Structure 1
Amino acid sequence: MDILRLLIDERAVVIFSRSTCGICYSMKQLISSYGANPTVYELDEMANGREIERALQALGCQPTVPAVFIGQRFIGGANEVISLQVQGGLVPLLLDAGAIWIWNRAT
């Protein structure tokens, strides 16, 4: 768990991903579409990727990627992020975390 804390500390949005994961790509695109600049860790490109994956599993991530943290808080995977977005809760989280500073909802 300490390894995750080191990677997410002081970052507004962190996404643990795999470079070949289509759903991970969609999560990165969704969050970026709001103007956020997430820190992305591609586990398949990291020497300690397996260790990080075990830590994510210990948090309850199943599957382990994508795993999204906003404001140093574990949000969940794709289903949780999409659910937040549909319910209108994603933007407030991004704003509170300082990932985006302004949001102008088109009418």
Structure 2
Amino acid sequence: MSAAKTKAQAFIDENPVAVFSKSYCPYCKATKSLLTELNANFNVMEIDLLDDGPAIQDALEQISGQRTVPNIFIAKKHIGGNSDLQALKKSALPKLLENAGAL
């Protein structure tokens, strides 16, 4: 397993809510805003600020099948991107966050 894939998987495994993001991305900002609004305990990896960011993005594609950001995991389960998270907002998201121990 590559170092980037190991790093990405460890971040997913160690955080109830793991968000892979790019600091300038408006969809990433919307995701972080929604999670903040819900008082969720979440951790963000800003991959555009990391030397190995491109390798982590490649690794995420292997792990989740999704290359774009935000790339969101709750309780180690791949949720998808911002539109997927927003779609869960009123239905399953609060329960998912609660079950992950993130509320």
- RMSD value, Cα: 1.3
SS at match of 1:9: helix
Q: Which of 76, 79, 94 is the equivalent residue of 1:91? A: 94
Q: Which letter does structure 2 place at the counterpart of 1:30?
A: L
Q: Aligned residue pairs: how many?
A: 98
> Whose helix fraction is larger, Structure 1's or Structure 2's?
2
SS at match of 1:15: strand
TM-score, structure 1 length as denominator?
0.84
- Does residue 38 (structure 1) correspond to residue 42 (structure 2)? The answer is yes
Q: Which of 32, 47, 60 is the equivalent residue of 2:65? A: 60
TM-score, structure 2 length as denominator?
0.87
Whole-angstrom distance in 2 between the partners of 1:60 and 1:79: 16
Q: Which letter does structure 2 place at the counterpart of 1:71?
A: A
SS at match of 2:72: strand
SS at match of 2:89: helix
Q: Which of 71, 74, 94 is the equivalent residue of 1:70? A: 74
Q: Which of 35, 44, 53 is the equivalent residue of 1:49? A: 53
SS at match of 2:14: coil
**Among the aligned pairs, what percent are the same residue?**
37
Q: Which runs of 4+ in 1 moved over 6 A?
A: none
Question: Structure 1 stretches of 5 or more lacking a match?
Answer: 101-107
